Amino acid sequence: MVLRSMNPQYPMQQLRREMDRLWSSVVGEAVEPPWTGLVRGRPAVNVWETSEAVFAELEVPGLKNDELDLSVVGDQLSIRVERPDAEQQGVTYHRRERPVGAFTRVLRLPAPVSSDAVEAELKNGVLTVKLPKAEAARPRKIEVQSK
């Protein structure tokens, strides 16, 4: 379960947010602070949930549909991303920062999902995966009967 309390990154993220705030108030620097890389996964992922679904969002700039491989098994979502190495011959590289190669992320979801109804959308280099929760995991309103 990716419960907040059990997520080992959570205290780090809290610290990071706090440091970000301090950094920007003191230095006035607007670029990302250098330690951000420490907590960033590859590809970086954000996960949030509503009462009906769990959402996962990834930044995958430059990727086409066929370079992404998504699968849901039980309560695990695995995402494999392959960014081809487009290194050109006969050119001089002055900067080489954009990651290339294959990356896999496996996320354990906080609730069982109905794998048939999973939807994924790729737009402007951002992949959003919507994983509707299984019927049993959705909140149910219980009518109170008065006698």
Partner 1 sequence: MAETTNVTKTPASEVPPAEHTRSGYFYRPNVDILEQADELTVLADVPGTAADGIDIRFEDGMLSIHAKVPPRNQDVDFIVREYGVGDFYREFRVNETIDAAKISAELADGVLTLHLPKVEAVKPRKIAVKA
Q: How far is 21 from 90, CA to CA, in rounded Å?
A: 44
Beta bridge partners of 104: 80
* Phi, psi at 143, each rounded to 5°: -75, 135
Which of 18, 19, 22, 50 is close enough to bind partner 1 by CB under 8 A? 50
* Phi, psi at 16, each rounded to 5°: -65, -45
Question: Does residue 129 bind partner 1 (CB under 8 A)?
Answer: no
Question: Does residue 44 bind partner 1 (CB under 8 A)?
Answer: yes
Which is nearest to 52 in space by CA: 127, 111, 121, 120? 111
Question: Does residue 27 bind partner 1 (CB under 8 A)?
Answer: no
Question: Does residue 9 bind partner 1 (CB under 8 A)?
Answer: yes
Residue count, binding to partner 1 (CB under 8 A): 47
Question: Does residue 94 bind partner 1 (CB under 8 A)?
Answer: yes
Question: Which H, E and C letters describe 31-80, residue by residue?
Answer: CCCHHHHHCCCCCCEEEEECCCEEEEEEECCCCCHHHEEEEEECCEEEEE
Q: Which stretch binds partner 1 (CB under 8 A): 73-81, 94-102, 113-121, 139-147?
A: 94-102
Question: Does residue 47 bind partner 1 (CB under 8 A)?
Answer: yes
CB of 90 to partner 1, least distance (A): 8
Sorted by sequence, the CB contacts under 8 Å of residue 144 that are 6+ apart come out as: none
Which of 66, 85, 95, 144 is close enough to bind partner 1 by CB under 8 A? 95
Q: Which parts of this chain interact with partner 1 (CB under 8 A)?
A: 2-4, 7, 9, 13, 20, 24, 30-32, 39-41, 44-50, 54-55, 57, 59-64, 88, 90-99, 107, 110, 122, 124-126
